[in-house]
């Protein structure tokens, strides 16, 4: 099977195809994680995106029953240097090839993924056609120009109905923009009683379960498109402890009156250093975001920037000066990535128990 990706601007990369026989148009991004492709592909935050993995050997340990971060693959395509048709791991139940085929997702391998990543670094994330159907260049070019990329996928990436994950401890209401499973697990492991709400739920509907805290999840797209989620969040400011991750962090910024902007090519990987300005300690984080919070905007609204990215100084975390509200841009739940920041879930728990935000 042939495979190709065609980029806005005319660049064409030809290689081999795998997975589904299909053509998709999406935003081409790169991820630098060396492990965790299954978690990445099933992370709803990648909805609408075609992922170029910089690590060249993908599929080595196959696909398992336990590493899903949601029900299915959200990414629109996968681009790699090489794939393993004979994976090896005790948990592997199928190959990445069979998995993508079954999920209807096209993959391209045998292309220079490093060259592609460098192009994205220089030119920014870019609109892209991925095809394993052997379409001619002209067809790809036409498809590309006809398609407008959506940036409101958070409206459909999350749950449509309220879901309940029972627990005996604190009750958490989650506003779901496209949540990763391990965030829920991180809460239930702490005995939380978790209610998952659609991102656009009315505040009253959420209050009805009498939550102890509100959690804002990760999700795909431009946070400014999550208007109803932003409004709902605003209604809870000062009423409940709030914790946000990734898009949840951006939504929180917008809810308090701050602003967000799009990064040239975002942060996607498991190796970014982040400094906690309040403890003067640094950790390695898992990241996946295109947008970032503008520091000055949130600082004017009573927030304190608590975490910064060690490489480019962007905002990685913030908290309210008085209220029990905090958020981080990165992923303390890992999956994939380091578990170094798991303690943030404990901090949320302690806030729900009435603890101080600056502790």
Of 297, 343, 296, 347, the residue nearest 325 (C-alpha): 347
The one among 65, 90, 138, 148 contacting other proteins by CB under 8 A = 90
Tokens of 176: 């779901």
Q: Is 292 helix (H, G, I), strand (E, B) or coil?
A: strand
The one among 239, 281, 300, 321 contacting other proteins by CB under 8 A = 281
Give the torsion sign (CA, 41, 46, 52, 54). Answer: negative
Catalogue the E-assigned strands of 166-220.
171-176, 193-198, 213-216
Least CB distance from residue 181 to other proteins, whole Å?
Answer: 12
Range 296-325, binding other proteins (CB under 8 A): 310-311
Q: Is 91 helix (H, G, I), strand (E, B) or coil?
A: coil
The answer to the question of residue 86 lying near other proteins (CB under 8 A) is: yes
The answer to the question of residue 259 lying near other proteins (CB under 8 A) is: no
The one among 8, 11, 21, 32 contacting other proteins by CB under 8 A = 32
Residue 91: active-site member: no
Least CB distance from residue 269 to other proteins, whole Å?
Answer: 6
Of 89, 281, 309, 47, the residue nearest 177 (C-alpha): 47
Residue 278: active-site member: no
Least CB distance from residue 87 to other proteins, whole Å?
Answer: 7
Q: Provide the b/e sequence for 45-74 (b: ≥16 CB within 10 Å).
A: bbbbbbbbbbbeebbbbbbeeebbbbeebb
Least CB distance from residue 82 to other proteins, whole Å?
Answer: 6
The answer to the question of residue 35 lying near other proteins (CB under 8 A) is: yes
Residue 128: active-site member: no
- List of residues 6+ apart from 172 with CB closer than 8 A: 187, 192, 193, 194, 195, 211, 212, 213, 214, 215, 348, 352
Closest CB to other proteins among residues 151, 310: 310
The answer to the question of residue 355 lying near other proteins (CB under 8 A) is: no
Closest CB to other proteins among residues 269, 324: 269
- List of residues 6+ apart from 142 with CB closer than 8 A: none
What x/- string results for residues 66 through 85 when contact with other proteins is judged by CB under 8 A?
xx-------------xx-x-
Range 92-131, binding other proteins (CB under 8 A): 111-115, 117-118, 121
- List of residues 6+ apart from 177 with CB closer than 8 A: 154, 157, 158, 199, 216, 217, 218, 219, 220, 226, 229, 247, 248, 251
Closest CB to other proteins among residues 22, 181: 181
Judged by CB under 8 A, the stretch of 87-95, 166-174, 229-237, 253-261 that binds other proteins is 87-95
Closest CB to other proteins among residues 54, 357: 54
What x/- string results for residues 127 through 156 when contact with other proteins is judged by CB under 8 A?
------------------------------
The answer to the question of residue 57 lying near other proteins (CB under 8 A) is: yes
Catalytic residue among 27, 192, 246, 267: 246
Of 128, 123, 149, 124, the residue nearest 140 (C-alpha): 128
Give yes or no for a contact between 62 and 96, defined as CB atoms under 8 angstroms apart: yes
The answer to the question of residue 60 lying near other proteins (CB under 8 A) is: yes
The one among 283, 292, 293, 305 contacting other proteins by CB under 8 A = 283
Q: Provide the b/e sequence for 116-125 (b: ≥16 CB within 10 Å).
A: bbebbeeeeb
The answer to the question of residue 326 lying near other proteins (CB under 8 A) is: no
d(CA 55, CA 30): 10
Residue recorded with tokens 């403890």: 279
d(CA 156, CA 105): 18
Where along the sequence are the contacts to other proteins (CB under 8 A)?
13, 30, 32-36, 38-39, 54-57, 60-61, 64, 66-67, 81-82, 84, 86-91, 111-115, 117-118, 121, 269-273, 275, 280-284, 310-311, 334-340
Which residue numbers are catalytic?
246, 331, 333
């Amino acid at each position: 099977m042939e495979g190709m990706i065609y980029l806005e601007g005319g660049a064409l990369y030809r290689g081999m195809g795998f997975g589904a026989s299909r053509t998709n148009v999406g935003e081409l991004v790169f991820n630098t994680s060396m492990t965790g492709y299954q978690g990445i592909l099933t992370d709803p935050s990648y909805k609408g995106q075609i992922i170029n993995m910089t690590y060249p050997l993908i599929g080595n340990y196959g696909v398992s029953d336990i590493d899903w971060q949601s029900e299915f693959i959200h990414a629109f395509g996968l681009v790699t240097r090489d794939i393993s048709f004979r994976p090896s791991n005790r948990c592997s139940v199928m190959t990445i090839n069979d998995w993508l085929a079954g999920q209807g997702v096209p993959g391209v391998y045998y292309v220079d993924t490093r060259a592609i990543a460098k192009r994205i670094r220089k030119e920014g994330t870019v609109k892209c056609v991925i095809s394993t159907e052997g379409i001619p260049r002209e067809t790809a070019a036409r498809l590309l120009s006809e398609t407008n990329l959506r940036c409101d996928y958070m409206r459909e990436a999350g749950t449509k109905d309220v879901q309940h994950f029972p627990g005996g401890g604190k009750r958490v209401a989650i506003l779901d923009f496209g949540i990763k499973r391990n965030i829920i697990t991180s809460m239930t492991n702490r005995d939380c009683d978790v209610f998952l709400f659609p991102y656009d739920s009315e505040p009253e509907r959420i209050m009805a379960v009498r939550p102890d805290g509100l959690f804002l999840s990760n999700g795909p797209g431009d946070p400014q498109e999550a208007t109803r989620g932003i409004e709902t969040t605003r209604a809870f400011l000062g009423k409940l402890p709030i914790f946000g991750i990734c898009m949840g962090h951006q939504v929180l910024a917008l809810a308090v009156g701050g602003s967000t902007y799009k990064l040239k090519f975002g942060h996607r990987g498991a190796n970014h250093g982040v400094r906690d300005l309040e403890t003067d300690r640094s950790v390695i984080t898992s990241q996946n975001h295109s947008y970032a919070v503008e520091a000055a905007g949130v600082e004017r609204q009573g927030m304190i920037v608590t975490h910064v990215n060690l490489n480019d100084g962007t905002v990685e975390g913030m908290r309210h000066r008085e209220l029990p509200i905090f958020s981080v841009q990165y992923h303390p739940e890992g999956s994939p990535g380091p578990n170094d920041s798991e303690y943030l879930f404990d901090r949320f728990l302690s806030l729900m128990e009435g603890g101080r935000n600056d502790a």
